[in-house]
Structure 1
């Protein structure tokens, strides 16, 4: 009898019975969710439905009121902080830039999980920084103060920091917020390249349903802190779901460029 070995799925985040609260207010409730490893997942939903709160819970920035969060089956709250930081990188929403810091100095902060007390900066550390600058197209900005960059440049610098952390799992909280269309697409193209060329698992919060469907392999839809749907965009994003979750009557048609679902709101009758 031949034994078939099933490869172990890596970089898989999952929640079980997850409740997340701020004080007495429950934001995410009873969430059972599995985010596939080796894929790009987009989390979408109306404002204040719990998207960013969920991302905080997945990265241990917010302790569960109930339930668990696991990474490849291990409870993240039982993992040493540095061990988790070597597995999982986070770009928070609207990160605060240290005053007068340059792009390269910011990106070097991503190497913190790999540093040890009294250990010198190594060639491996610098190589990780250089690779992050190259991949994000920020090498030419290395000596520029971050607070003097455009919004798109600043966002790429922060993504470079997350890349320098050298994790296989990258979580991005609304990486396209406040960017114009060109810079939104630049950031999302970069995310796609990181997934396809470097094999990174990416989980990101997005607002634009068309962009989420175009760039993600897996879609998670939240509604009032609960899971409304999850799966491939072509199966999940339907007119009924959009109207139920977003209260927007619409048609869902194939994107003429990619064939992915495109949401077209119905015109108001006057």
Structure 2
């Protein structure tokens, strides 16, 4: 397994509270990695650390062996794209104008918009299926369409690494699957390395090549879903007794919670 993006002894804090502690991690190249774990365990904080949005208080993050905080911002933006959990849409901006913002790292001072820039935007619009929406205001799109527009912006950056923080949040099941299918296609067709934070363990196991399980800010497990996702791990990390069975559609691990006994106070 090769890895361009890695952490060593990573510690991340908010004020005096340690959120991620002593974390060693290697992100496999040309693969889809899903970061999973209970609420408030440090998943999104870890992604922020990988994206250089949060400075470590110990250890560090490296890209191609170089401390990510020593890489110039414009250079980093040509290698690593980020879709935050709840991106703020500029008021009244159209889909195409939003996607064009992805070309900012490739622009020089006083440079003009080039044919190569427009080609990158056209590819991103087509790849995400929002080319027909290019003139629509982003704030008037459905949740699934809006998420695709933001992914198109990240694609227009033409980075090899794409980080997605809970890309399916607030979407219904159909649009969740649309976004995850798109992620899988981006990886399969272009070999792009994708790291995404997910809540749904079944979706993580189905769409990811590599799982990173975080518990109380530490690494609980990492590896292929079929090796990592066990009933013992789910009960230890999520406090949910379960069975792990093969998904009848894909054969990937599927978590089936055990029935809970009703408490005396809930029986009438």
Sort the TM-score into its range (normalised by shorter chain).
over 0.9
Query: 1:180-199 alignment to 2 at 5 Å?
Result: 180-199=172-191
How many angstroms does 1:109 deviate by? 0.3
Query: 1:219-234 alignment to 2 at 5 Å?
Result: 219-234=211-226
Residue 4 (structure 1) aligns with: none
Query: 1:252-263 alignment to 2 at 5 Å?
Result: 252-263=244-255
Query: 1:65-76 alignment to 2 at 5 Å?
Result: 65-76=57-68
| SS of structure 2 residue aligned to 1:84 | helix
How many angstroms does 1:74 deviate by? 1.3
Gaps of 5+ in 1: 1-7
| Correspondence 1:45 to 2:37 | yes
| SS of structure 2 residue aligned to 1:227 | strand
Gaps of 5+ in 2: 263-268
Residue 18 (structure 1) aligns with: 10
Runs of 4+ in 1 over 2 A off after TM superposition: none
| SS of structure 2 residue aligned to 1:47 | coil
| Correspondence 1:32 to 2:24 | yes
Residue 110 (structure 2) aligns with: 118
| Correspondence 1:215 to 2:231 | no
Residue 5 (structure 1) aligns with: none
How many angstroms does 1:150 deviate by? 0.3
How many angstroms does 1:68 deviate by? 1.0
| SS of structure 1 residue aligned to 2:78 | helix
How many angstroms does 1:198 deviate by? 1.2
How many angstroms does 1:195 deviate by? 0.2
Residue 259 (structure 2) aligns with: 267
How many angstroms does 1:269 deviate by? 2.4
Query: 1:132-143 alignment to 2 at 5 Å?
Result: 132-143=124-135
How many angstroms does 1:268 deviate by? 1.4
How many angstroms does 1:199 deviate by? 1.1
String of CA shifts for 1:2-55, please: whole Å, max 9, x gaps. Answer: xxxxxx946x21100100001111100010111111110000000000000000
How many angstroms does 1:116 deviate by? 0.2
| Correspondence 1:61 to 2:53 | yes
Give the length in aligned residue pairs: 262
Provide the rounded CA distance (Å) in 1 between the counterparts of 2:31 and 2:141: 31
String of CA shifts for 1:84-116, please: whole Å, max 9, x gaps. Answer: 000000000010000000000000000000000
Contact 1:237 1:261 survives alignment (8 Å): yes
Provide the rounded CA distance (Å) in 1 between the counterparts of 2:118 and 2:157: 11
| SS of structure 2 residue aligned to 1:41 | strand
Two-structure CA RMSD over aligned residues (Å): 0.9
Provide the rounded CA distance (Å) in 2 between the counterparts of 1:73 and 1:215: 28
Residue 151 (structure 2) aligns with: 159
How many angstroms does 1:73 deviate by? 1.1
Per the normalisation by structure 1, the TM-score is: 0.96
| Correspondence 1:168 to 2:160 | yes
String of CA shifts for 1:182-215, please: whole Å, max 9, x gaps. Answer: 0000000000000000110000000000000000
Per the normalisation by structure 2, the TM-score is: 0.97
Residue 202 (structure 1) aligns with: 194
How many angstroms does 1:78 deviate by? 0.8
Contact 1:9 1:72 survives alignment (8 Å): no
